[in-house]
Amino acid sequence: MTSQPTLKTAGDGPGEPRDSGAPGGSADGPGGDGSGLQAGLKNRHLSMIAIGGVIGAGLFVGSSTGIATAGPGILLSYALVGTLVVLVMRMLGEMSAANPTSGSFSAHADRALGPWAGFTIGWLYWFFWVVVLAVEATAGAAILEGWIPAVPQWGWALIVMVVLTATNLASVGSYGEFEFWFAGIKVVAIGAFIVIGGLAVFGALPGADTDQAGLANLTGHGGFLPNGAGAILTGILLVVFSFMGSEIATLAAGESEDPQRAVTKATNSIIWRIGVFYLGSIFVVVCLLPWDSKSIADDGSYVAALDSLGIAHAGQIMNFIVLTSVLSCLNSGLYTASRMAFSLGRRGDAPRAFARTTRRGVPQTAIIASVVFGFVAVFFNYKFPDSVFLFLVNSSGAVALFVWLVICFSQLRMRKIIQAEAPEKLVVRMWLYPYLTWASAALIVFVLGYMLTDTEHDGRTTILLSLLVAAIVLVISLVKQRLAARRAGERDEVPAG
């Protein structure tokens, strides 16, 4: 494989990485017994993972709340968040193309800002995805139980988790193949929706009921911003988390045949992916139906849009697409959590067992540990949905913004490190560095601050609980770092025998 080596291999302070978890080398450390991650993902796998990574179930399920809040102006909310994601992905692409690694932004933060940053953001990201496993498993089980009620919902959740765990344990190629088809179905479905809906908007779809459709829906029913310009900011809070997952391609790239090419391609294509799949599909929805249509709130935006055209079984069609998105998210969530745990293990920030790999290059212990916590979260969802599980969901809710902020600050430092050590590796460059990086960081801080004022949609609760968990993880990191320094000092004081 053509994995790029780390720029340096020694040290653990800012600018001097510990083991970054770069694939291709041995996973052997203390207690290690594997041969490291292997290049099992093909270029077609990476291409579809990059495309599908930005299409989460949240787009299909959560967009109705945003439309009800901001009206057609939700397009501006999606455009603003989409622009931010493009910029952040460009920064991440710059760092990952220079040094592809299974730890992605966590390993870059470890290198650029210090071990405390890599430890904290790595564990927060892992925590986010194991909670997502429970959310998505429950959502998928609810759909499957509706189709086959003989199996209870908890049974379906168990079946789904077991099947996808087995897939991830088999080989990285198995994960890639499943994700290729899951993502492919999502891409085809949303592409068909845009084409069919677009034809209906302009009255060119034969046999469809298009009485309610038209560009007039963008300005009718109270105007483009019926609830005022402030609703755009509230809309941002509602849609920002549906973009989480765009960074998965940079984690997966490390296990591809050509990591640098994969990262570059994924980074360069993020603009059209967000433009088509998010802005394109939401534009069609708000043109097909008035934004205040009761059916959007009752049935969901995409189901309501299909129903308005008189398409038979629209609800079941959308349930199939949502189920595919749920399975895709579960598959990628388990993969992502395990690779982050693997990277943390390689850097000594998690049990060394997490860094062990099988002969097929699969971090078995990291996968099983992630699944176990996912199962525990599923149990909490069924047993304590309004207390323990609600806390888990809210306390992981702002992790996306924390990750993006860390990427900004890491890139500011890493650009200087790469330029000094290996400028030829700057094959992807952040635009207008450092001005757009600082502007992106400022926007993220603004959104975090605005969340503190949002009591209607639990924004304040989410940010406060997320900050609490982040503070706990940071304290653990600092204590661990201090204890390690003390042990190192004690070893240095022992006289040579």
**10-residue block means of pLDDT along the chain (497 residues)?**
35 45 38 60 78 71 87 94 93 91 89 94 94 88 92 91 91 87 88 91 83 89 91 87 82 80 82 88 93 89 87 84 88 90 93 91 93 90 88 88 95 95 92 96 94 86 93 95 84 62
Distance separating alpha carbons of residues 25 and 4, to the nearest angstrom: 11
Query: SS3 for 256?
Result: strand
**CA–CA distances in Å: residue 477 to residues 21, 22, 118, 327, 470:** 18, 22, 9, 33, 10
What is the per-residue pLDDT for 31?
Answer: 36
Asked whether the beta carbons of 224 and 218 are under 8 A apart, the reply is yes
Beta bridge partners of 173: none
Beta bridge partners of 256: 41
What is the per-residue pLDDT for 439?
Answer: 97
Where does residue 383 rank: exposed (0-12), middle (13-18), buried (19+ CB within 10 A)? exposed
Closest by Cα among 369, 379, 378, 380 to 134: 378
What is the per-residue pLDDT for 219?
Answer: 92
What is the per-residue pLDDT for 121?
Answer: 95
Asked whether the beta carbons of 267 and 93 are under 8 A apart, the reply is yes
What is the per-residue pLDDT for 210?
Answer: 78
What is the per-residue pLDDT for 342?
Answer: 94
What is the per-residue pLDDT for 495?
Answer: 61
Q: HSE-up of 133 (CA within 13 Å, CB side)? A: 34
Q: What is the CA 425 to chain-centroid distance, rounded?
A: 26
pTM of the model: 0.88
What is the per-residue pLDDT for 7?
Answer: 41
Q: What are phi and psi of 216, to 5 degrees?
A: -60, -25
Residue 443: both structure tokens together: 């926007």
Closest by Cα among 318, 285, 250 to 107: 250
Beta bridge partners of 41: 256
What is the per-residue pLDDT for 363?
Answer: 93
What is the per-residue pLDDT for 183?
Answer: 86
Secondary structure letter of residue 242 according to DSSP: G
What is the per-residue pLDDT for 253?
Answer: 77
Distance separating alpha carbons of residues 103 and 92, to the nearest angstrom: 12
**CA–CA distances in Å: residue 166 to residues 38, 154, 353, 356, 379:** 18, 18, 19, 17, 20
